[in-house]
Amino acid sequence: MIPADAGIDLDGYFARIGYQGAHEATAATLHALHLLHPCAIPFENLDPLLGRPVRLDPDSLQRKLVRDGRGGYCYEHNLLFGQVLAILGFRVTGLAARVLWNRPEGTVGPRSHMLLRVELADGPWIADVGFGGLTMTAPLRLAPGREQPTPHGPFRIVPAGDDLRMEGLVAGIWKPLYRFDLTPHLRVDYEVSSYFLSTHPASHFVTGLMVARPTGTGRLTLANTRLSIHHPDAPSEHHTLGSAEAIMAALEERFGITLPDRPALQTRLAALVAEAPPRTP
């Protein structure tokens, strides 16, 4: 299980996400936190993109995601979220998954994604506040085969051989997100995977920009120069950002990110703009 770390600043975390509810290990608390966390703390990979280290110790997570106005990727989000839940009295176990999203069927990738198992009085739940553009905004009961609503669309967990597969309903089609089992994982396991993902020259976290945040009315995503606004009941909007300055403005204004090392970021984003394929008329 994820141990409670007394050094986590709960009041600072709650202020960051706007939570004012009870400090009790209940289903209501879990649901409230699971919605507020990803809406307030964006998914982003600015540190790997800039060649900066990604640190997963509690002090670093708290400083970056809570105090410095930043976001992070799955390990950062779910390790911080797991620590908060543990302090509140939840029994939390870290799990790992093989990502299937936007990959050809049959592709076998590494266990590069983190998620959480949370035990409640009525049984186990799956929590995950760090899956980029399709991050869940509610926990799911660990009940395979059951479609479950969230504030940002239905999800389900289905059997997949000896494993389980997480799926989300996108434009009326069930899309696979990742495949996982219930083997517990520790911080050291995530540190090994995180180091590879944040430093290997072929890692998509190193080579491109990925930012996402659910909002009160849908979702926002930014992939390199492409800003997408996804509406629940209308077609998505797509905009090409043609300069580093435009991307930085979107990061600040739309995603609420306090930008690190602005000169280095501007240089890196300008390179992404130069590498982007030309827009079709």
> What's the chain's Rg over C-alpha atoms?
18
- Which is nearest to 102 in space by CA: 41, 170, 39, 195? 170
Task: State the catalytic residue, choosing from 31, 37, 47, 128.
Answer: 128
Please tell me the distance from the alpha carbon of residue 16 to that of residue 228, in angstroms, as a whole number: 25
Site of tokens 């409640």: 120
| 185 annotated active-site | no
| 74 annotated active-site | yes
| 163 annotated active-site | no
Coil vs helix vs strand at 190: helix
Residue type, 1: M
Task: State the catalytic residue, choosing from 31, 34, 37, 113.
Answer: 113
Crossing angle (nearest 10°) for helices 10-17 and 27-40: 70
Task: State the catalytic residue, choosing from 31, 74, 77, 230.
Answer: 74
Task: Check residue 6 and report its DSSP letter.
Answer: T
Q: What are phi and psi of 225, to 5 degrees?
A: -100, 0
Active-site residues, by number, are 74, 113, 128
